[in-house]
Amino acid sequence: MENTFDTIVIGSGPGGYVAAIRSAQLGKKVALIEKYPVLGGTCTNVGCIPSKALLDSSEHYHDATTKFNEFGIEITDITLNFPKFIQRKNEVVQSNNKGLEYLMKKNKIVVFEGVATFISKNQIKLKKDQGEEILAFHNAIIATGSKPASIKNITLDKDRIISSTEALSFRVQPKSMIIIGGGAIGVELASVYARIGTEITIIEYEDSLLPNMDKDLGKALFRKFKKDNIQVYLGAKVTSVQNLENRTLVKFINAHGQEEEKISDYTMLAVGRIPYTKNLGLKKIGIQTDNKGFVLTNEKLQTNIPNIYAIGDVIGGAMLAHKAEEEGTFVAETIDGQKPFLDHNSIPNVVYTWPEIASVGLTEQELTKKNIDFKTSKIPIAAFGRARAAGEKDGFVKVLAHPKYGEILGVHIFGPRAADIISLGVTALVYEITDLDMTNISYPHPSYTEAIKEAFLEVSGKGTINL
């Protein structure tokens, strides 16, 4: 049958499009179903890519207004063209969309626009504007992603009480914004708008920013935000958010148990994300989910129906685009009969504030909780020539290693280009390279990677060279 495919992928985010491409490369007849008219999912359209475009633009503006003078670059009358600021983000997104369309054509992947619903373990009903049709498959991959979570009794009206999606497309720059949630999404958008002059307040329920990462990273970011005039409330519980037509009113209980309230132009909820499985028909065919709605899978990322797999945000864990990509490749190769390797512990986590934050492996808190012995080193990035030349005064590299075997247990970085440097830590974890072995690698001078070399030198017992 013409509408029978070896593999159907539902969702065109990073996990979905990578799974589709890899499946096609392996000789499979592949269909990709996307309910929106553009490919790329949350990451490309309202997540990773647009937020990074705004982060880069805001960083350039911030450097021009606060940093250029010390480099001998004198500019007067600097202004921000906010509509163009947003338009550039849109152009970056559109460029990525076109790139994905090209990749689908190149790999001969059939793309369907519409809503997919399972009607059996081998059939999907595709609902389109023009009607419905039935698609058959030998294997299916669920890659439908996630959507922003809310708080009980707080309504996301998408007007004044917004999610990150709306915060990426303001028509006019807000003068003030309260962000509820100090995780990756919250702190990245706090950075974007604080740099261009918006008054930012973060209210976080836990006692640390980035509560799921090593506590030293959250502490360092808290200090940096204080320098940047971002007000942060930790250990605070929001009790209500009210739309006042042209402002918002947030009431919360602070860490000391006192009631407080703040008014701002907008309030953005950044309290995590929940799986998106609406209209998939999971219950109809008996696919199991947990009590939060995440699709349950085994070590091969199979659901309880063996020829239906699930990847990315919809199965939970770290909600990272590159995690979904790795899972997409893993599933495509598993379906092909290969035995691919996937280690979730060695997938890095990155937050694109400035300095950047990156982490891989276990945190100091996790090691302590699991009663795993460890030794640690923590090296300031500002001690190195590359950082001084660039005027970078903040940052460190922290390495956790096993005291007996030298196994790298975790690497945590707060500093410039952390997103790039962390790959050295990932390599060490994946290939079980010891701290001593990592000191035998030649690191370029001057570079930011010298800080991680010094951390490996110190934790291995060799002793530092530049400190």
| pLDDT score recorded for residue 463 | 84
Spatial separation of the C-alpha atoms in residues 151 and 231, rounded to whole Å? 21
**For the domain 161-271, what is the CATH superfamily, name and number?**
FAD/NAD(P)-binding domain (3.50.50.60)
Domains 161-271 and 355-460 share a fold: no
- Mean pLDDT, the chain, integer: 97
Give the pLDDT confidence of 58-90 residue by residue, as tens digits: 999 999 999 999 999 999 899 999 999 999 999
Q: With contact defined as beta carbons under 8 Å apart, do 266 and 162 qualify?
A: yes
| pLDDT score recorded for residue 2 | 66
Q: Name the band, by pLDDT with cuts 50, 70 and 90, for residue 129.
A: confident
* Catalytic sites, residue numbers: 445
For the segment(s) 4-148+274-344, the CATH number from 3.20.20.140, 3.50.50.60, 3.90.180.10, 3.30.70.100 is 3.50.50.60
Burial class (CB in 10 A: 0-12, 13-18, 19+), 355: buried
Spatial separation of the C-alpha atoms in residues 428 and 434, rounded to whole Å? 7
Average of per-residue pLDDT across 401-409: 97
Spatial separation of the C-alpha atoms in residues 221 and 395, rounded to whole Å? 10
Average of per-residue pLDDT across 371-378: 97
Average of per-residue pLDDT across 395-406: 97
Helix 48-66 and helix 184-195: axis angle, to 10°? 40
CATH architecture of 355-460: 2-Layer Sandwich (3.30)
Give the pLDDT confidence of 290-329 residue by residue, as tens digits: 999 999 999 999 999 999 999 999 999 999 999 999 999 9
Give the pLDDT confidence of 255-272 residue by residue, as tens digits: 999 999 999 999 999 999
Torsion of CA 146, 150, 152, 158, to 10 degrees: -130
Sheet holding 266-269, edge to edge: 161-162, 266-269, 176-180, 199-203, 231-233
Q: Where are the domains of the chain?
A: 4-148+274-344, 161-271, 355-460
